[in-house]
Structure 1
């Protein structure tokens, strides 16, 4: 039986089948403005000679992304363009090598120059070039003929190269945690035992997540004007290599899935509410669709390829959005005053838990280094999970899940913490108030910016 709860603009679905399973095509069509149904009917503002060239390349780029999705089912994270475009792509027999070749041809057809003047048109040109380059790189990787490396994936797929870090640099955090949680067992076991005391009981999940998401949405709407019809469905799943996922459907609609197969601690409620919803993925996708697809007719934003520079902006902004919506001590205060009682947990113990989790969060960069060494063949697969346990203090089950994530997504791991740092640097540069930071953040979420164009 399906139970549907409407509250504060949210739509929660607490049973399968998926809410959007029977209406995805209609939703996608409703989300597309008439201009997008034909390249011959682009808005007047886009009829310049150079823009028409970009419009043509943009349409072909969408086709290539959809066709590459035939060979990698993870690749097309979202598409809300015309249904016939997807149908045409599904009928394509183009190999990854052929798709890579067509991508290189498209790159050569774009106007010359990088468009580094900071204008939307310049950012669009840079976006198409960079996203096409990533598409070519991913297509080539699927041929099995290219050599894999962490740096290559980070640079070619995500438009950045995070610095290497020595494991010794994480010793201060590990030492402080050892002092906070003394004992004879391995530190990872002590941390996990401590965290288990703050797990949300399964019968309290709905109330805690409802309150968390409503607060995330309320805080976001104070600064960002969201589309009137935006909403999402929330569903609990299991046996996934991630803790939460946003499946954007177009028309300002999302399906957000939370992995309840692993325990969910009290701090994850706001994290997931902000990251997947407000002002994270749901907000980002809705603003891009409204500002660039519907208002400008830029069809390249009707598709989201997962292994691309756009993912660093998406994941980085979603993680930074937590701190933006709950600055300073506000997240901890809301958890103590609202979420702890809803979960039946003792708020008097929150302060120590907050300190422990702040230190654990800093250790997340060790995960990047573990992934780098594993992908580069410096350590065997058997050492990956134990290293995650030792340096990121994950439980054995979570460490194995993280190895599965690296196996499936490779250097994608950098998008969460390194992406957050890049977004934070962009948003906080020359800003001194919450209003200014929200303005910069909204500008980022509504524009074609990628990592290499953040400071244009």
Structure 2
């Protein structure tokens, strides 16, 4: 059965076609997605599974119809069309991967799915950063073994994780509301359960409501309370989706934003902005203070209070090594490495503990090159917010909100429609 475009000359109709096609694709794609549109449409498409090769024809027709839309004299329409072409290209690329037709390289996959070129880092780059950790991690012996023992001293007992996460979410909400006007009835529901391979996942339900899922099986260290509360909720994905819905769907009527899959240029902004919001909400000193005065007592780890500043020095250095996750994905997906070799590589060059390296690889096996959206996405968002001047904190919050309320994304030059963001 074919898929007919509603009206190839109407951009609004083509946006609705994109939503339908993306839903059809997800009959084959196990990765999660956010959909806040017509639930009857979603249910009907779930019951109407079509072959990917047939959908590919519709994806190409959608792309061709978008290319033919006139945007003369209307910059907003031109940008909207370019964003939709990017999404159509990403649908085609994801469909090919689901059919076992892989891009020629990791970089080609990144370009096809996310419209960016993330930098490749050498092993020497990671070695140079790792040297600095030698002065932080106590004891003698191989750095990886010392580091694993050191970090696991700051592991929260499982029975304390939910209380700690709930408290961090409340504090992150308070801080975000002090800087951003949010709807009075926006709210989140904390669910301690397991969602696929993710340590946490924000499931936006629409109208300012989000289920924030947290894994009960993955290692949960002291620093993750603030990191995940800010990334998933305030001012991260929950706030992003709330503001995006109000602006792009309710005000502009752009129905394509009812559908947010884990591919397309929009994910660079989504994950990058969520990571940027962590340090914007809590300065480094504020995180140290919060972990020392709130998290450690809640977890029964007050005996570590005098060491929390040094622990955050360690966390800072490991975070600087996070591009190692991209390189592990490159080697696992395209260079024939076994899972065990990739885990050991992450332990050596990303200085992850084995448990966390295993978790990273499980995520990479599921979401593939999406891993670049967290680190390259953060760099891209930071550059957009801070590159032209030295903004103060208030300006940073304002610009962050602006990224949620405007279709500014690193879209490649599709058919000359827009310029790639530098």
TM-score (norm 1): 0.83
Within-5 A mapping of 1:288-367: 288-345=244-301, 346-367=304-325
Closer/same/farther in 2, CA of residues 145 and 350 from structure 1, 3 Å limit: closer
Partner of 2:357: 399
CA contact (8 A) 2:34 2:204 kept: yes
Which residue pairs with 2:397 in the alignment? 438
User: Does 2:194 align with 1:235?
Assistant: no
Contact 1:116–1:123 at 8 Å: present in 2 too? Answer: no
Name the SS for the 2:202 alignment partner: strand
Structure 1 position 132, deviation (Å): 1.1
C-alpha contact (below 8 Å) 1:254/1:282 kept by paired residues: yes
Q: Does 1:448 align with 2:407?
A: yes
- Give the C-alpha shift of residue 239 in structure 1: 8.2
Specify the alignment match of 1:36 in structure 2. Answer: none
List aligned pairs for 1:51-450, cutoff 5 A.
53-74=10-31, 77-110=33-66, 119-238=75-194, 240-345=196-301, 346-377=304-335, 379-429=337-387, 430-450=389-409
CA-CA distance at 1:205 after TM superposition: 2.3
Distance 1:440 1:380, change over 3 A: same
Take 2:97 and 2:108, find their aligned partners in 1: how far apart are those partners? Answer: 11
Q: CA deviation at 1:362?
A: 0.8
Does the 8 A contact of 1:159 with 1:450 survive in 2?
Answer: no
Runs of 5+ consecutive residues of structure 1 not aligned to the other structure: 1-39, 41-48
Question: Per-residue CA shift, 1:248-302, capped at 9, x if unaligned?
Answer: 1112211111112122111100000000000101111111111111122111011
Give the conservation status (yes or no) of the 8 Å contact 2:219–2:356: no
Question: More deviation in 307-316 or 331-340?
Answer: 331-340
Instruction: Give the direction of change, closer, same or farther, for the CA distance of 1:119–1:189 in structure 2 (3 Å limit).
Output: farther
Structure 1 residue 380: deviation in Å? 3.6
- Deviation of 1:136 (Å): 1.1
Structure 2 vs 1, CA of residues 117 and 324 (structure 1 numbering), >3 Å: closer, same or farther? farther
Q: CA deviation at 1:450?
A: 1.8
- CA shift in 2, pair 1:402/1:357, >3 Å: same
* Post-superposition offset of 1:190: 1.3
Instruction: Please tell me whether the aligned partners of residues 100 and 137 of structure 1 are also in contact (alpha carbons under 8 angstroms).
Output: no
> Which deviations, in whole Å up to 9, do the C-alpha atoms of 1:387-440 show, x marking residues without a partner?
111112222232222222221111111011111010010011234211111111
CA separation of 1:355/1:81 partners in 2, compared to 1, >3 Å: closer, same or farther?
same
- Could you tell me how far apart the structure 2 residues matched to 1:163 and 1:262 are? 29
Alpha-carbon displacement from aligned partner over 1:51-98 (angstroms, at most 9, x marks no partner): x72101100000000000111131x51111112211231233421122
Structure 1 residue 119, shift from structure 2 partner:
4.8
Distance between the aligned counterparts of 1:146 and 1:455, measured in 2?
Answer: 26
Conservation of the 8 A alpha-carbon contact between 1:114 and 1:126 = no
Q: Separation in 1 of the partners of 2:271 and 2:198?
A: 13
SS of 1:215's equivalent in the other structure is helix
Unaligned runs of 5+ in 2: 1-5, 412-418
TM-score between both structures, scaled by the size of structure 2: 0.90
* 1:341 to 1:228, Cα distance in 2 relative to 1, 3 A: same
Q: Distance in 1 between matches of 2:78 and 2:234?
A: 28
Change (3 A) 1:122 1:226: farther
Name the SS for the 1:179 alignment partner: coil
Q: Secondary structure at the match of 2:220?
A: coil
> 8 Å contact 2:195–2:214 — kept in the other structure?
no
Q: What is the alpha-carbon distance in structure 1 between the residues aligned to residue 320 and residue 23 of structure 2?
A: 37
Alpha-carbon distance between aligned partners in 1 of 2:315 and 2:17, rounded to the nearest angstrom: 45
> Helix, strand or coil for the counterpart of 1:329?
helix
**Distance in 1, Cα, partners of 2:220 & 2:41:** 39
Instruction: Count the aligned residue pairs.
Output: 407
Partner of 1:20: none
- Structure 1 CA distance for aligned equivalents of residues 216 and 421 of structure 2: 39
Distance 1:133 1:331, change over 3 A: same
- Aligned mates of 1:219, 1:116 — CA distance in 2: 43
Q: Deviations over 1:333-354 (max 9, x none)?
A: 3222333333333321111101
Q: Does the Cα contact within 8 Å between 1:245 and 1:258 map onto a contact in 2?
A: yes
For 1:223 and 1:117, how far apart are their aligned partners in 2?
36
Distance 1:180 1:114 in 2: 59
> Compared with structure 1, are the counterparts of its residues 359 and 140 closer, same or farther at alpha carbon in structure 2 (3 Å cutoff)?
same
